[in-house]
Structure 1
Amino acid sequence: MPGQIDWLEIPAADTAKARAFYGGLFAWRTDEFGGDYHVIAHGPAGAITPAEAGFTHPRVYFGTDDIEASVERLRELGGRSEDVQAVPGVGRIAHCHDDQGTPFSLFEPAPGS
């Protein structure tokens, strides 16, 4: 559904410590997806991932049926968006900021997902 939160990423300086913390707090379990990216298997749809410059707070992904149209509308409303990126077998994403600079991302699932 457009506008629904479809995914959450929690950045961490130490993903092992973060997985232990959230596992202890919420009983979340994680599965390694690749590299140091850990999908939450028992909890919200999302992942614990390494923090990086400009990505130090949780990132929410809002669903959209048409990512290009959403990016175009976002820009008309004064927001900013990076280029749309394909995530093979998953869909397409775009990291964005609203008109006040608040970061969020858009997610369009792959056909048939």
Structure 2
Amino acid sequence: MVFRDEPWPEGTPSWVDLMVPDQAKAVAFYSGLFGWDVQAGGEETGFYGMAELRGRPVAGIGQTPPDQDMPPVWTTYLSVSDVDKTAASITEAAGQIVVPVMEVLKEGRMAVAADPAGAVFGLWEPGNHLGTQVTAAPGTLAWNECMSRDYPAAKAFYEQVFGYGFQDLSNDDFTYAVLLLDGRPVGGLGALPDSVPAEVPSNWSAYFSVANADESAAKVVELGGQALGRPFDSPYGRQVRVLDDQGVPFLVISPNEQSGKPEGWED
């Protein structure tokens, strides 16, 4: 388990949160799956729930406002030092600002954007809240990736706005690149395969670390969710895509022999 007490570098996925119709149901599900202790904020925060491990924030769970028609989803936030400047860069690069820049008390400043292919993501300029402060342990954020309906457009967009480099892992079966900042992997960008139904839009996904992917997939089902297939091994860990009990997709991944355990890993 690794703790972090400083802002994440520009362009790094630094936070994820979940907005759902039934916040209490989500809190019960994810607390049961990951062992999170979720602390609800006051009325001024919309009772936003801060999920914690060892007393440190790892994710957020909020209630969808009744006047907003938005799908339940995990949103990935990219760390920025100047959210206004980044928002302007997004529009210049043919992206869209979905939720305008706003102050979040003294915690920070944020906006929500969409890339040219329609994948939605957040921007977070830290104030008191730095983002996730725990890594390398079950229940923490492991990886974030954008799977796109227009890979070339998405690649050009993220390179222009965030200055990413790309480590191409593509082969005859898939198109995928690791997003690099100063040579350091921070996320992924891939093309949605033709086998994915047309109604599935470009999207950002969140992976959460677990001690055992098979046991976590079974726990998801026990808690009322669904496993979308069986866990499988990759060079980066054993993983499986799942749905929570409100139909929100995410992935769980555990260390395997190929990946080894991350530095500082603590079961």
* Contact 1:10-1:58 within 8 A present in 2 as well: yes
Distance (whole Å) between structure 1 residues aligned to residue 219 and residue 188 of structure 2: 28
Which amino acid counterpart does residue 90 of structure 1 have in structure 2? Y
Structure 2 residue matching 1:65: 3-state secondary structure: coil
After superposition, the C-alpha distances for 1:77-96 in whole angstroms (9 at most, x for unaligned) are: 10101211111x22111000
Q: What is the aligned residue count?
A: 112
Specify the alignment match of 1:14 in structure 2. Answer: 150
**What is the deviation of 1:56?**
3.0
Q: Which consecutive segments of 4 or more residues in structure 1 shift more than 4 A?
A: none
Cα deviation, residue 44, structure 1: 6.3
Structure 1, unaligned runs of 5 or more: none
Distance 1:71 1:45, change over 3 A: same
Which position in structure 2 is the counterpart of 1:30? 166
Q: Answer 1 or 2: higher relative contact order, Cα 8 Å, separation at least 6.
A: 1
Shift of 1:107: 0.7
User: Percent identical across equivalent pairs?
Assistant: 28
Gaps of 5+ in 2: 1-136, 262-267
Q: CA RMSD in A?
A: 1.7
Residues 211 and 254, structure 2, Cα contact 8 Å, conserved in 1: yes
Alignment-derived partner of residue 84 in structure 1: 231
Question: TM-score normalised to the size of structure 2?
Answer: 0.39
Match of 2:189 in 1: 48
Partner SS for 2:160: helix
Shift of 1:58: 1.1
Q: Which has the larger radius of gyration?
A: 2
Following superposition, the deviation at residue 102 of structure 1 comes to: 0.3
Report the residue type matching 1:63 in the other structure. Answer: S
Tell me the TM-score normalised to structure 1 length.
0.88
- Per-residue CA deviations over 1:62-85 (Å, capped at 9, x if unaligned) read 001111221121111101012111
Tell me what 2:214 maps to: 68
Relative to structure 1, is the Cα distance of residues 24 and 49 closer, same or farther in structure 2, using a 3 angstrom cutoff? same
